[in-house]
Amino acid sequence: MARSIKQDVWRTFSKVQPVYLATVEGDQPRVRPVTLINLEQRFWIATGTKSAKAAQVRRNPNVEFCLPLSEGDRTGYVRVAGTADPVEDSETRARIASQIEFFSYYWSSPDDPDFTLLRITHVAVEYLAPGAAEAETFIV
């Protein structure tokens, strides 16, 4: 049975984990660590409505994030490019908020106006398995 690259990639993600997110401000990329929520093989990012990343996404929704990988002394990565779409649906916001351990530290409720939930859609993945010589790509 041939291995599935998609299955390999999905196994690299925890439900909640840090990644490096790139947004665009004018013609300058901006990269910062964020917490990625992986739920039902969909990617979500929670942020403050007044944050720089939220403002940058409002102006240009194209984003990319990178998850560094390592196995012993071998390294690799998963890069995911897509569009960050704000989520307004109350049920979805509540469902995702319930998965975020630190949620109550920043927001009073899923309806808090300072809580922005972004769903990453139109996803293209580049995967370099730890120790591999070449990356593989696919669309989710």
pLDDT per residue over 9-63, tens digit each? 988 999 999 999 999 999 999 999 999 999 988 999 999 999 999 999 999 999 9
Residue 127 lies in domain: 5-139
How many DSSP H helices and E strands does the chain contain?
A: 4, 7
Domain count along the chain = 1
Is the pTM here over 0.75, yes or no?
yes
Residue 137 to residue 88: CA distance in whole angstroms? 31
Closest residue by Cα to residue 26 from 65, 60, 54, 64: 60
Q: The domain that contains 44 carries what CATH number?
A: 2.30.110.10
Q: Collapsing DSSP states into helix, strand and coil, what is residue 75?
A: strand
Which pLDDT score is estimated for 1?
34
